[in-house]
Amino acid sequence: MLVTLNDILKEASNSNYAIAGFNVFGYEDAVMVAKAAQELDVPVILMTNRDAVSHMPIKILGSILTDIAKEAKIPICVHLDHGKSIDEVVSAIKSGFSSVMYDGSQLPLEENIKRTKEIADIAHHFGVSIEGEIGSVGYNDPSIKAKAMYTVPKEAKRFVEETGVDAVAIAIGTLHRMKAQEANIQYDRLEEIEKLVDVPLVIHGSTGVKDEDLIRMSKHRIAKVNIGTALRMAFGNTLRDEMNNKPEEFDRIKFFKRPMIEVKNKAKEKMIILGAKRK
C-alpha cells in the first residue's frame, strides 16, 4: 500500500527499529526491495535521487514506483530524495510521489528555512509528507562539490519549528557514496539533537555506517536510514560478473536475474540490521 512518511516514521521514531529508505533506479531494483520488505513484513521507502531522475523522467519513475507500492501488502512510501527546487518537488508530487525531500542544506540557515517552509506548505497542501536537511551530509566522491557541515542542535530545533517539516536529515558523521563502512558517528551530537527536536530523524549516507552503529542508531530516535551505494554495488558487481562469465549472452533480462537477487539479499540484510526482526 502507498503511504506517506508520516504514516510510518512516528512509530519507528519511538521504537527500537528504523525504516530503510533505498535509492532505486527503476523496476529491477525497486521491485526486489519491495519483495524483500514483504518477506520481512516491514514498511520500506523507495527513493529516487537526482541521478535517477536525470536518467528516467520522473513521471515514468513515479508510475513504476507507485504501482509497486499500491500492489504491495506492506506499507511503501515513494519518496523524492534531495529535491533542489520547487519545480522538482512539484513534479514529484504531480507524478504520484507520497513524500518529498527539499535539500537546502548548502544554503545559509535563513534561506534554507525560508525555502523549506515554502515547499513544506505546498507538500502539505497536497497531503504529501516532507523531509528537510539541516547541517549538510557531504560526499565521499571528490568530483561532487558539496560542503559538509555537522548539524548544530540548536539550529536543528529552530529549523524544524519554523519550517514544519515532517522529518529532518541530520549530519553526524556520515558521507554519501562511501563504499567502505568507515563512518565515525558522533553520538553526543545525536543525543543533543534528540533532546531538542521532536520530529523523526533521518540519516543519509548509511552504506558507510558499520553494522553495529546501524543497530545502535536504530535504537535512538532515528526513524529513517537512507541506503543507496550498497544496492548499486550489489547490482553492478554482480552484473559485471555475469557479463564476464557469459561472453556469448546478449539478452539483458538474463543478465539482470542474478543482480536482482543480490539486490533483494542486500536490502533484506540492511532491514534486518535496522531492526526488522525487533519490530
In a domain, residue 253? The reply is yes
Count the domains in the chain.
1
Q: How confident is the model at residue 28 (pLDDT cuts 50, 70, 90)?
A: very high
98, 136 Cβ separation under 8 angstroms: no
User: Does some domain include residue 255?
Assistant: yes
Helix (H) or strand (E) holding 59: helix 58-71
Find the Cα–Cα–Cα–Cα dihedral 115, 120, 123, 126, rounded to 10°: -120
Residue at 155 is within a domain: yes
CA distance 175 to 192: 20
Q: Record the cell numbers describing residue 48, joined without a space.
A: 529516487
Is residue 177 pLDDT above 70, yes or no? Answer: no
Percentage of the chain beyond pLDDT 90 is 78
Catalytic pick from 7, 51, 67, 81?
Answer: 81
Helix (H, G, I), strand (E, B) or coil at 278: coil
Instruction: Report yes or no: 105 and 134 within 8 Å, Cβ to Cβ.
Output: yes
541530520: which residue's cell? 170
Containing structural domain, residue 98: 2-273
Look at residue 279 and tell me if it is in a domain: no
Per-residue pLDDT, averaged over 33-59, amounts to: 94
Please choose, from the candidates 221, 215, 179, 162, the residue with its C-alpha nearest in 3D space to the C-alpha of residue 9.
221
Residue 278 lies in a domain: no
Query: To the nearest whole number, what is the mean pLDDT of the chain?
Result: 92
- What cell was used for 182? 568507515
Tell me the pLDDT band of 215, cut-offs 50, 70 and 90.
Answer: very high
Q: Give the pLDDT confidence score for residue 230 in this predicted structure.
A: 94
Of 1-15, 85-99, 141-155, 248-262, the one with minimum mean pLDDT is 141-155
Distance separating alpha carbons of residues 196 and 167, to the nearest angstrom: 14
Q: For residue 168, tell me if it sits in a domain.
A: yes
Contact present, 201 and 158 (Cβ < 8 Å): no
Residue 122: CATH number of its domain: 3.20.20.70
Using alpha carbons, list the distances in angstroms from residue 12 to 20, 201, 209. 11, 10, 19
Radius of gyration of the chain (CA): 18
Supply the pLDDT for residue 181: 74
Tens-digit pLDDT profile for residues 117-167: 999 999 999 999 999 999 887 666 666 667 777 899 999 999 999 999 999
Q: Report if residue 199 sits inside a domain.
A: yes
Give the residue carrying C-alpha cell 558522533. Answer: 186
> How confident is the model over 179-209, as pLDDT tens digits?
667 678 889 999 999 999 999 999 998 888 8
| Percentage of the chain lying above the pLDDT 70 cut | 94
How far apart, in whole angstroms, are the C-alpha atoms of residue 79 and residue 65? 9
Nearest C-alpha neighbor of 263 from the set 50, 37, 41? 37
Residue 88 lies in a domain: yes
E strand segments, 33-177? 44-48, 76-83, 99-102, 129-134, 138-139, 167-170, 175-176
Q: Is 141 one of the catalytic residues? A: no
